[in-house]
Structure 1
């Protein structure tokens, strides 16, 4: 894709694309290509594609000495008056060499002469004037004609030369030539100056008089011929004016040779030069050339991709020739300066063909002159498509319903996807993802036309086998790389009434015997039919078909239960019932079974003639059996969990009891407690390991019973089974302290009872009782115990809250007397124990047998007072 672009019409150079060698295609003549230009440069643009890169190659054409100096004519005639003084100068037309530099004319040589010498002056390294200088007076009479040979040499290697023969004729004539006041004039003119504009005025003088002193100004014949097209010279005044078009782009400077000729018999001529410089003005708009590198630009082109190259040239100079290039309006492209006068258009934003497939970029080139000149051009850029858009379904999922028993190959759905791309990028093919439905490939169920997306059912579906499955449709375009999207198609198989009901079990005739004594409303039997359809198609109703006469039986339409409508008569022996099971489909389908009912006398068992027909009355179907098995399994798991929980709780309780026994052994202390003669003790020890207090009662381990019938004050009298305790007076009164304690009482949170004697009579008493003089009266005191909060005590009577007799207290017992008898129920709340309870952490109750039974009322009252005092002391303690 390498290209070489030249501004010139001819292509002088060409590149060998195989080895990259730049070679000359056509012969280059520097003098024709760059006439009068010192530095001849041919500018080439080298463009390389993929990626696009641009290079500039400046080729300098070097001059070779291929041209000889040439004079305008081979013979030059010159007439010189003999009166010309020594040192007179005579202009000689020089040779012309189109070569430049060292190859141009560098020297002139004149053949040997005693009268003439050659004089030339260089201006800007170029010989501008060539003159013959008269060495001494000449004498026409001695020699009237002088033949000289003028040779021009260039500086090339080898050096080339050209010759011209000068024939000088000596005449006797005017001996004073006109003379300009200065040999060299400089002037300037504005480009595009109007015609008639004065450029400069020159003046010459002649020392002769008369007609030999009359001067006429003319353009020298040795000057350029096109001077008189641009300028005019007044032959009398010497004014130079503009008569043509002054164009800076054609000539930046004019060199005018002017002669002043007198009117003598032999005209003498004076010479001068006028250099006219053309001042540039901004009169040329930029010239723009746009080279597009591609027919279209891909929409995924990255930023910086070169789209086109712009070459701009302005013939003006300076700021008038300095050009800037811009894009008008918003565009995803921008311009980058490459080289002098060259610019590139690159991608500067994201391109999307689906939004804009064509751009018209307006390019404006503007110079910096005053006023600025500009030129514009429109570059049409087409955006080519790339596969950047996947096919798109209107929705990602859809649902269809197919009625069962559909014909195979029927069209059931059309998938449609759209792709905003074009060409092959928008060519969509459809396919179905490979999945399985119950182990069967989905390709066995449905297929799809890859071109139009039509979905076909390959088989006739059966709702009883397949009710629902999913189909994943993929739409893929033909781009590179291909893009795709998916559609999930939910396919439901609709049920139709294609299955008739079936009686269970599958016997067309059922025979059974029933007793004649059966009562109306009683269930005789039950029929059941199943329909493998679903919905209303499987909803079955039962009825009798053409019942003969008035049948005494009735059937429930929804359950199929056959019952007796009215009692049998003595003449009834056998009935034949035809039961019809009908579903609710459209159209409805039926099943028929026959039941033969034989009537037997009372007391006979109902027998079935067909063992297989027992299934009609069986309530348990296969599904019911599964349900029963599941219930049994769940119940078994629950029972095992309950047993395990009970065992763990019992183990924990046993561990707590063992810990309690250990604590009891460690906290047992008889010191300070009241004991009876048998040393039987009740001890309640608080367990620091338990958060909640337990009720712990140790029954006296005394198995000895008295032989006599006294139950009075004998030891173990309360343990006698024959002992009948008396009920206490129901009119018990509570003391003020007990009432206050009962208001803040806390219910017992947990209790555990340990019984010591197997034969002990279990009775529940108040913990401490202050007996009155009469058995019917009494007052319950607060609980006794050191450091125990009285607010945490509750009191109960014995079983069933029966009232128990109040034991009598011997008068000789100590103050801290505790009533003997059945175990007391004590609830100790340890949430807020007192300080002394925290130290002692146990309570001991003592028991002694009574030695004597006090029968006197007075003495009993005294004992009761002592007991009250003891209870008060125990409270204080």
Structure 2
């Protein structure tokens, strides 16, 4: 029983102690205590022995609000678990007590614990706003006037919340507190001294609130006191007397002076109204006026020194305050006498217009000059402006003549504005002027003049009759009939080259419209007939006597591709390897025949097709194409040379005869062509030689019969051994000679290209050739370098010489054509003005003609560029 009775006894003792103590345990802890701070020995105060707090599970019962204390399980002490803020827990309530429930199990008991959180000074006083604005009137607000202010608040309680106020030093304000029956004090800003806005318009004060804590905390608020204005200042002028000097000829609206009064007040108290209070003499009220707002005094009437020479004006400035205040000043105006009468000029007689060929000294007008003033102010001097070409001559007092001093030119100046200027002797002098308009009449003293001495005109051939080629215009600065120009082609001015080397008058090709100057073609132009027309156009005016001017027109006819290639007959020598005979030919086709020996190596020339084109430039640049047979035949044709050669060694399988169809085309747009049919007989070597010899002997007879009898003669000669030996020797000799000539041509130095000195020449170069043109007669020597073969061609310009005996002496020689086995020929020459009409691949550029080195101009194979002069 002793064992079991011990706990029961302790419980009874605890219950008795609890009952005696009123059943409650009280603790106190300051706010903001750190976590872990021991509030009280809860287990011991509840009568529990050491170790029983944990055994009997002593703990706090959680409530709706999170507790900031907890029970330590081992010791049973009540400790702070989180931040305690009295103002957050209780606000302004005092005291701040927290009621806690403590639970003990075995047996189950509930205890009430009261925890008081004491205040510390952790909050500074706080004003409702950081700044307060006040407005107080100057002078009208008496000293002792109070203006209520809202005080500061402190979240603490007790002495920590007891506030005291102080104001920054000021001689005009102080702070007062007043206790009332309410829970808070009343705070006032008291005016200690009258305010003056003109001295200090704004007062800035700092109100400070301090609490009673230790240490003390404080808060501040800025007080901004704006001083309101009162009308306590009268307007003041910057001058008491204004002295003004005015000339008597001052015009109405002239600013006499500007009076200015200032008021130290603001607002309506500062607004000033001006008025002239008194006029001396009274008639000045019609002469002067003042702007009520700006204070500007202006003239409203005319001044006259002879009537009044002195004025007194009394000006008042009044503000808009209540009551209004005013200030005064005086304006003294002195009038000066001036030379107020200007000279006058009249034109009494005028003789216009003046012909431009009028003689020097001709009188144009009569003038009269006067001045109403007297003395020096009435003495007048006259001059004319501009000083030329007219002048003034004084006839007698106050009269002048306007005369011609220089020759006139209507085309330079058609009308003169002459100004006659008069100046009196006053101080300052007055001036007057009179304008005189002098027109100049025209005489026919200018001939029509063209804008260019030489006109260059391009015209395509085959143009329509009546087509407009160009428009010429001549300027004649004269007027009316003297400047009306008519145009005509001067018959003696030139012409164009006609077929056969003759000349035709330019009027047979072109005409000029007499009024408009339009140049028109009378008939379609043919480039093959005439390439260049050079003639003169005459412009004649309708004056008396008529005058004329001339201009030279160079009309270049631009070639069109209107001529197809024409096949040429075979060259002398008869058919055989390297030559061809013609059986028939026509303008667009031809039949040719030739022999070739079996076993002939590749590259051996069998024949050469020759063709020409009457066109020029690209339109006359020919190329040869093998039309039949297509594919890999035994023969081929040179693209630009027309040479028919073996493409491979000839075999018996090729048959006894080959028929070749060759098409010759030019490079025009569209291209034109001709067709040649070549029959090649394949024979033995000896037969070919004999056939060639037989054809040579038969060349003197009809060609057609020679073509038909050639094979029979060759068959008959085959039986003769002598002819066979002769043929073999001839072939061998020719072969050796060809080898020697070939070697000499390959290794011999190039011939120089010669060109005489002359003016700059326009050269057009392309990948396939070049050509040049100059108005002077010259020749160009071009050397072509092919793949072992070359053409040597000489071209002369297409410009016809001028008519007359000199033309015969400078008539160019016919161009020489040296035909060999050749590469692509050069295109014929073109005028420089026609270069833009050739294909874009050509480049045109001028260069001076001068002696060139030997290899300066070389023709390269198609696909490469030509060398140009350095």
| TM bucket, shorter chain | 0.3 to 0.5
Report the TM-score, using the length of structure 2 for normalisation.
0.35
Whichever of the two has the greater Rg, that structure is 1
Report the TM-score, using the length of structure 1 for normalisation.
0.35
